[in-house]
Amino acid sequence: MREDVNAAISTFMQSLSTSMGIGGYNRNHMIDYIPAILFTLYDGYYIYSPEKTKDSNGNTVYEYMLKPYNYYTVRYKQNDNNDVIINYTLDNYVVIYGWINGTYVVNSGYLVSNDRRSNVEQSEIIKQNVPYQTIPQNVNQKFLVGKKEVTNPNFDPDYMEKYGALNDNRTEYLYPRNDLYYIDPESAVKYYTNAEEFTNWVTTNLDWVNANMAMRNNKYLKNSHEEFDVDQKIFNINTGDNDPEDPTSIFAQHKTNVIKYSIQDNLNQAITAYSQGSVSTYDFKLPNLDLDEWDRVASNICMLTFMQGVPIGTKYYNGYSLVQSTRNKLYVSPDSLYFISEGDNYYHKIDCPYLQGDNIQGFSNFDFLPKKSSVRSDEDPYYMYVDEYGNPLQACYYCIVDSNNYESVNWTTIVAKRKAYYTALAREKYRRYTATDNLEYNIN
């Protein structure tokens, strides 16, 4: 991930200096005006900013570097026995570690209040188009993942027997995005099973967690930020006012505040530190972001850049820019799912009136982009979803390409759509990579 972020910074600098190139600016000149760049990811964020270091002669210098990854973390302390640290993420996944009733505990999972197990597809068949060369035909066949040759570790011959047409070269019951090339047909059900177990555990063990117990660096946040000075039980999960999947719930609002102040405090520190070490007379400060912009930061993968202190006449330029990524494999937001229906050559949003039929499946919008398998570099891209003639499915012109004139239908009342939506969301979340997947579940 660090390499990707570094590459993004490099591209940003390149295009910024190119677009300002006429003024004779070059990258090294330009960078003095950029006190920080922020990258928010699924469970934490990076800050790229100058840091005080010593050069080879022992002089103090400020050097730009990507600071260590910060998680969206906050600590809740009731007393010495109940003292936990919670990592939030952009969605309803949390990681918990710390002392509960005097026992050290590590646990992680999704929080849900609605058990939709009966509403989702119990066992899914997923058809995808994969390039012929990479189709593993049996359990021991070698195939390429990236540039590495591996044996398919999760290949289940029974599964292929049951659903697959092994002699069909074009479609395969495989999911080529994951390194494991395999998707559990019961993902959606398992998501809710695991989530329910975890939610039950959280509601019984963390019922004491209150918004006003939040602390960072051994200081209660309620003393410095009024949003935390409220009496709210964060993990009192219910379908009424605290559905973790609903962005207006107590949990989600609290989470947004945690993310916001974690980023704000660290960014403030980075920019102020830069200001002190900068040779420029300009006083670098973190600008105030709108509430709306913080909401975007706390609900998407974002890049936030600042540019300050550029002399323009007798004044200084001071600006920032926020862009978000809605199409990536780190995070699936409820808005980023596209749906296909059998016999239809277009893919749609869930509320499109042209999405019809009983056999609807949803996938992350990332999957509809053209892919290149790395077998050959000169080959044409392939698409994961194709029609009966092998042509790629196209984006619906009514809902995706041009969303104007668009009259959405209430999809929650249509059984097939509701099922497809919750199945897709649960499956995509179940498959999502999380760095804390392998933490030990530990209750004594």
Binding region for other proteins (CB under 8 A): 296, 323-324, 326, 335, 370, 380-381, 383, 392, 394-395, 400-406
Distance of closest approach, residue 1 Cβ to other proteins, in angstroms = 23
Distance of closest approach, residue 201 Cβ to other proteins, in angstroms = 36
- Name the residue nearer to other proteins (CB basis): 3 or 378: 378
- Name the residue nearer to other proteins (CB basis): 400 or 426: 400
Q: Helix and strand tally (H, E) in the chain? A: 7, 19
Side chain identity at residue 291, one-letter code: L
Non-local CB neighbours of 306 within 8 Å, separated by 6+ positions: 34, 35, 36, 37, 271, 286, 287, 319, 320
With vertex at residue 180, the alpha carbon angle to CA 176 and CA 186, rounded to the nearest 5 degrees, is 85
Distance of closest approach, residue 269 Cβ to other proteins, in angstroms = 27
Distance of closest approach, residue 35 Cβ to other proteins, in angstroms = 22
Rounded CA-CA distance 371/381 in Å is: 5
Name residue 94's beta-bridge partners. Answer: 109
Distance of closest approach, residue 40 Cβ to other proteins, in angstroms = 15
Distance of closest approach, residue 137 Cβ to other proteins, in angstroms = 27
- Name the residue nearer to other proteins (CB basis): 170 or 296: 296
- Name the residue nearer to other proteins (CB basis): 290 or 440: 290
Cα dihedral sign for 355, 361, 336, 202? positive
Distance of closest approach, residue 207 Cβ to other proteins, in angstroms = 37
User: Beta strand pairing status for 103-110 and 93-100?
Assistant: antiparallel
- Name the residue nearer to other proteins (CB basis): 10 or 408: 408
Rounded CA-CA distance 282/26 in Å is: 20
- Name the residue nearer to other proteins (CB basis): 64 or 406: 406
Q: Judge whether 424 and 372 are in contact, CB under 8 Å.
A: no
With vertex at residue 68, the alpha carbon angle to CA 62 and CA 71, rounded to the nearest 5 degrees, is 140
Name residue 268's beta-bridge partners. Answer: none
- Name the residue nearer to other proteins (CB basis): 288 or 404: 404
Question: From residue 275, how far is each of 168, 323, 336 by CA, in Å?
Answer: 63, 25, 39
User: Burial of 122 by CB count in 10 Å (0-12 exposed, 13-18 middle, 19+ buried)?
Assistant: exposed
Phi and psi of 68, rounded to 5°?
-60, 155
Distance of closest approach, residue 55 Cβ to other proteins, in angstroms = 39
Distance of closest approach, residue 333 Cβ to other proteins, in angstroms = 11
- Name the residue nearer to other proteins (CB basis): 202 or 289: 289
Name residue 321's beta-bridge partners. Answer: 305
Rounded CA-CA distance 223/215 in Å is: 10
Largest CA distance in the chain: 75
Distance of closest approach, residue 401 Cβ to other proteins, in angstroms = 5
- Name the residue nearer to other proteins (CB basis): 5 or 393: 393
Token pair 């910074």 in the structure block, residue = 9
- Name the residue nearer to other proteins (CB basis): 31 or 395: 395
Rounded CA-CA distance 74/51 in Å is: 24
Token pair 């019961």 in the structure block, residue = 186
**Spatial CA neighbour of 135 closest among 162, 161, 173, 163:** 173
Rounded CA-CA distance 413/186 in Å is: 24
- Name the residue nearer to other proteins (CB basis): 125 or 375: 375
Distance of closest approach, residue 265 Cβ to other proteins, in angstroms = 25
With vertex at residue 285, the alpha carbon angle to CA 279 and CA 290, rounded to the nearest 5 degrees, is 155
